[in-house]
Structures are given as C-alpha cells and as structure tokens.
Amino acid sequence: MQGIHQPKREEVLKLPRVHISSHPVMEHKMTALRDKTTQPPDFYRLVKEIGALLAYEATASLTLQECDIETPLKPMRGRRLAGGIGITPILRAGLGLAEGFREVISDAQIWHLGLRRDERTLQAQEYYNQLPHQVNLQVCYAVDPMLATGGSAIDAVNILKRRGIDRISYVGIIAAPYGLLKLSQTHPDIDIYVAALDEELNELGYIVPGLGDAGDRQFGTL
C-alpha cells in the first residue's frame, strides 16, 4: 500500500448507505476479538456472536408481508419476511460470520463463494462458487470479516450481481477507510454494515489496528 493515498476515517464516516455499529455489547466483543491473546476457539465463538449482532442490525430494513394465522386463542393477521434471504460467506473467513447470521435467520440459504487474496498483488481470485442458478431472494448478504483493500468485497458483489441479485448488502467486522470508500464508490447501490472502522492499511495490506488474519485466527492456521 506504499505510495497509495489512503483516506482518513473522518472522510468516509459520512458515506451514504454505510452503517457502523455503535452498540456497547459490540464494542465489548470487538475488544476481546482484537486481543492477540484470544485463542481460535474463543475467536471463532466471538465472530459468530458478532455475526448475530450484525445480522440483527442489517436485517432491520427487511420487507414484511401480511399473512393469516391462528393463535391457540383466535385468528389474527401476522407478518412474515417477504421473500427468501441469502447469505454468501466469502471463504474462508466469512464462515464464522455466516454461522452467526444463521442464528438470527435460520432458514436463510447459504451460497458459498471462495475468494482468496493473493498476498503479493492483493488481488482476489475466485476458487469456489456454489451460487444457485435459480434466484428468488429478497436480499443477499455477502459476509466477510475484513474489508481491507475492498478487492474481495467488490468481486463478490460483482459475482452476485451477475447472478441476477438486485438487492445486496455487504456485512463485515472491520473496515479500512480505503476499502470502504472503494466498495461504496464501486457499488453505490448496496448497504454496507460493519462493526468497526479502523485507521489504515499497513504496507502488507493488513488493517491497522485490526485483528490480524481473520481466517487464520478462526481456524488455528497461524
């Protein structure tokens, strides 16, 4: 990232359709997640718990449709989510986040997408794709803990759009201002939810202060 201009936090805070969590429980869990002494089993559990909190925030604007039900006491009008929900975990670090999402929306479809960032060029490469051809969703959430240069997130949204998904949200744990700006400018039609906005990318493309490598810390491949 040397020689590349990185925007400051303040410059991206007011981007449209960007939502940064401000919940105290989220901050508490984020502190434990970032701590370098947190070991993989606790790290994975925290990613799932943060995923569930983010799911709660990101689903607040979903559309409902009316339906008739009967309680044990009388008939009534209820409201159910209109249309299916898709979750696309960007492998492999998105897996824990997707699990947390599923605890909030248990009947969501899971569409796995494998993207690996080349650590030298920082370009994302697709290596796995389980997106169905029949698409009938209200919204699809692309979930991945780290929004660093934005390359993986931008590619994931491109792939979902090519499958005909017209309502997409990106959900991540930590964003760097650089990646957040790139994703928001490239895909101004999506909502972006993150738990925290950090300071910058270092020369290796890691988010600082960040949490290190989210995939390695979840799966113990340090």
Tokens in use for 217?
Answer: 């810390």
Does residue 146 touch ligand URA according to CB under 6 A? Answer: yes
CA angle 110, 152, 147 (to 5 degrees): 95
Does residue 175 touch ligand URA according to CB under 6 A? Answer: no
Q: List residues near ligand PRP by CB under 6 A.
A: 90-93, 115-117, 122, 124, 144-153, 179, 205, 214-215
Q: Which residues of 116-147 are buried (b: 16+ CB within 10 A; e: fewer)?
A: bbeeeeeebeeeeeebeeebebebbbbbbbbb
Within residues 60-99, the interface with ligand URA by CB under 6 A covers: 93
189 close to 22: Cβ distance less than 8 angstroms: no
- Report what 48 binds from ligand URA, ligand PRP, none; CB cut-off 5-8 Å by kind: none
Catalytic residue among 31, 63, 121, 221: 121
Residues 113, 97: Cα–Cα separation, whole Å: 14
By beta-carbon proximity to ligand PRP, the closer residue of 7 and 84 is 7
Catalytic residue among 59, 117, 149, 191: 117
Residue 178 Cβ vs ligand PRP, minimum distance, rounded to whole Å = 9
Classify residue 165 by its DSSP letter.
-
68 counts as catalytic: no
Of 207, 209, 220, 222, the residue at the interface with ligand URA (CB under 6 A) is: 207
Amino acid residing at 3: G
Does residue 151 touch ligand URA according to CB under 6 A? Answer: no
Interacting residues of 166 by C-beta distance below 8 A, sequence separation 6+: none
Query: Please, what is the angle between helix 94-104 and helix 40-58, to 10°?
Result: 50
Residue 149 Cβ vs ligand PRP, minimum distance, rounded to whole Å = 3
Phi, psi of 126 (to 5 degrees): -80, 130
117 counts as catalytic: yes
By beta-carbon proximity to ligand URA, the closer residue of 170 and 206 is 206
- Report what 124 binds from ligand URA, ligand PRP, none; CB cut-off 5-8 Å by kind: ligand PRP
Residues 111, 159: Cα–Cα separation, whole Å: 12
Does residue 206 touch ligand URA according to CB under 6 A? Answer: yes
Give the catalytic positions in this structure. 117, 121, 213, 216
Residues at the interface with ligand URA (CB under 6 A):
93, 146, 148, 206-207, 210, 213-215
